[in-house]
Chain A
Amino acid sequence: MSNDLAMKAENVGKKYCKNLARSMMYGAMDIISGSTGKMMDSSLLRKDEFWAVDGVSFELKRGEVLGIIGRNGAGKTTLLKLLNGIFMPDRGAIKIWGKIGALIQLGAGFHPMLTGKENIYVNGAILGMSKKEVDSKFDSIVDFADIGDFLDTPVKNYSSGMYVRLGFAIAAHSEPEILLIDEVLAVGDVSFRRKCFKKLGEMKEKGITWILISHDMGTIKNSCDKVMFLDRGRVSYMGTADQAISEYYCTVSGDGTMKRSDLAAGSAADKRTGITGVNLTGAANGDNKSFATGETINAQISFVSEKRIDNPVFGIQVMGMDGIFYFGTNTKISGFHIDHVEGKGTVSIKLFDNGLKPGLYRLRVDMHDRHMGTVDLVNDAAYFSVKGGAFVGDAMFYNRHEWGLA
């Protein structure tokens, strides 16, 4: 029945205490109550406690990759530590089928005074490998970590790159069936990351299950089968990567300058000077959130200016949710001269036959004076998705084209 499951969390909660003095008191109380065998019901909040992870439930099948995104302090790492068993839940239950391995911090557990070789054996043992196992994988670990000459050097003299490479190499060779990764791949240089992802790819082919925390939406989108968006300890959304990322950005922007809905609803219209709204329309009037590759996109940028601004410059940038800056221009570069603006107005731009590949995009809009001093900048003036339309395949972008034969 549930035999193809790798992990199941039911209403999992973990509480923290905000106040150190109280935390110490509660800790002492826990020791006393644990000693007498009358542990109190941990699902009740005591004073100054809050749920850092609050009622998280999910199921993960074998071979699936789950991404976890969310702001700093949303509870991502705490959740990962709960799944790893470092923390025990205060509420709910976690079930795990298979050997679990975690990359919460690469090289955690290294003793700085010990050599790389000695640390391989110690770390291997901590990760559950026997000496025999480490012996047989030793060369492969050293090879992957690429620390050849420094094997007998204390790790305190390692560069940070060598340190994480060795940490990853040992963890990857412990052959977990479920791997938890907390942002650790963001360290290290490009070639290291490529190497890691290659290794992870090989592990995935063998049917390993992953859970990945990352702030890099490109990684999330490329690697994950489903994505959980965690907000203040709760699962705010769980589903496809695109949708989760979009939810995440919308929520994050809620703390920023302007919310998408605010712009659309025009509540930002009480601005004295600046951009008040962006309206997107495609070939088919109506749905202004979704376009097809190759479709022409019209953007109307509304603004207001209390004072007269001479020779203003308006710009737009199309940002992908993978963090890539796809396209950008402004009126000055395009040679579109505006003499002056005062009061309300609208600038429009036509993006002919857009070459964007399917995905989610964010539109950044800015407004400058003639010295290119920023008058206003809206980081997420609009969100839109591109789906269907002209064929892009695995290519980066679509180019409008025409074949000929002579």
Chain B
Amino acid sequence: MERKVKVYIPNRTMKMGVWVWYEMFNALVSNRELIGRFFIRNMLGKYKQSIFGFLWIIFIPLVAIGTFTFLNKSGVMNFGAIDVPYPVFALIGISVWQLFSDGLSAGTESIVQSGSMVLKIKFPIEVLVFSSMAHVIFEFTVKIALILISFVVFGYKPSVWMILFPVAVIPLMFFTLGLSMFSSLMNCVLRDTARIISLGVTFLLFLTPVMYPLEEGGSQIMRLNPLTALVNAPRDLIIYGHIRHFADYIVFSVVSVLFFFIAWRIFYIVETKMPERI
């Protein structure tokens, strides 16, 4: 009887060549339950021993929106004419944006945060990155409910194409996961990574048309930012019923998905060298 053998050699995943893809997908599928468990673990751990619990998911966007609405109304910042009530516009924008910003921050911290576990139990490390994304997706669904409530409150009627909203954010998730694959490993070596990321994400919020609209024919430089297309496309679906810079969106979506797969593959190779550096 042939028994299954596991072999550990240096740079194993690199020497596997294309077979590594099979192993990567296989590992992802067979570990789906573990990803779910980690997701529940994170969630329960985060909201326990807290009075407001899950309400924290909506507090932060609400405070941000309140601030920007105030800035807009008082004339400190003028965002120009928007076809929708500004709070609704901002709420959709920040909800999508946080998929990226929270996803990247959580993904970057995911491995180091569970460092003691990584060093003591054998399990596929990529599970940590995937489950941190799962957590952010969960928070996103809560925010979708908040968006729907805001429609009622402001008496706004969205386009029927809103049903594609959850699908339209998928490229952004791939982009975020791809970046997290790199940054989470980098954070094992250099703790500065997490700080640089959180600083960078804060500035990116101002450089990306999230809280303010992307002006038609406006700055071309802004359109080179992949986040511009990836964040605005889902919102366009709700407001306009179509995606305004559709070509941009398609290009950056394809790039994001390819980027994710390359990042995942590199993660699988480099990951073998990282636990010892945590």
Contact = CB atoms under 8 A, between A and B. Distances in A.
6 contacts: A24-B277, A31-B185, A34-B14, A86-B122, A125-B38, A126-B123
A85 B120 contact: no
Interface centre among B3, B40, B120, B123 (most CB of A within 10 A): B120
Contact of B276 (A16, A93, A109, A131): A16
Nearest to B49: A113
A34 B49 CA distance: 42
Contacts of B122: 84-86, 100, 102
Contacts of B152: none
Given A39-B269, A95-B5, A87 B120 contact: no
Nearest to B1: A3
A34 B7 CA distance: 20
Given A96-B5, A104-B120, A125-B34, A118 B44 contact: yes
B119 interface: yes
Contact of B189 (A14, A24, A97): A24
A63 to B, nearest CB: 14
A39 B11 CA distance: 7
Contacts of B37: 121-122, 125-126
B275 A86 contact: yes
Interface in A103-162: 104-105, 108-109, 111, 113-114, 118, 121-122, 125-128, 130-131, 154
Interface in A67-105: 81-82, 84-98, 100, 102, 104-105
Interface centre among B40, B186, B270, B273 (most CB of A within 10 A): B273
Q: Chain A: interface residue count, which band?
A: 35 or more
Contact of B40 (A42, A89, A122): A122
B116 A108 contact: yes
Nearest to A127: B121
B134 interface: no
A168 to B, nearest CB: 14
A43 interface: yes
Nearest to A125: B37
A37 interface: yes
A42 B275 CA distance: 15
Nearest to A112: B45
Contacts of B5: 95-97
B157 interface: no
A379 B76 CA distance: 81
Interface string B1-29: 10111111111101000000000000000
B273 A130 contact: no
A98 B3 contact: yes
Nearest to B273: A30
Interface in A42-75: 42-43
Rank and list the top 9 A-B pairs by shortest CB-CB distance, nearest first. Answer: A27-B189, A108-B120, A34-B270, A125-B37, A88-B272, A94-B8, A27-B277, A96-B6, A109-B117
Interface of A: 3, 14, 16, 23-24, 27-28, 30-31, 34-35, 37, 39, 42-43, 81-82, 84-98, 100, 102, 104-105, 108-109, 111, 113-114, 118, 121-122, 125-128, 130-131, 154
B274 A27 contact: yes
A108 B120 CA distance: 7
A340 B17 CA distance: 81
Interface string B92-105: 00000000000000
A88 B277 contact: no
B117 A97 contact: no
A89 B12 CA distance: 10
A353 B185 CA distance: 66
B188 interface: yes
Contact of B6 (A34, A39, A91, A95): A95
A34 B269 contact: yes
Contacts of B41: 111, 114, 118, 122
B149 interface: no
Nearest to A32: B270
A120 B11 CA distance: 34
Interface centre among B4, B40, B116, B276 (most CB of A within 10 A): B276
B202 to A, nearest CB: 24
B190 interface: yes
B153 to A, nearest CB: 34
B33 interface: yes
A98 B3 CA distance: 8
Contact of A113 (B1, B11, B45, B188): B45
A130 B33 contact: yes
A105 to B, nearest CB: 5
Given A16-B276, A109-B120, A42 B11 contact: yes
A94 B121 CA distance: 18
A90 to B, nearest CB: 5
B189 A28 contact: yes
Nearest to B278: A27
Contacts of B207: none
Contacts of B10: 42-43, 88-91
A93 B121 contact: no
A118 B9 CA distance: 36
Interface centre among A24, A97, A111 (most CB of B within 10 A): A111
B45 A111 contact: yes
Contacts of B273: 27, 30, 34, 88
A30 B14 CA distance: 12
Contacts of A127: 121
B118 interface: yes
Nearest to A106: B120
A23 B121 CA distance: 23
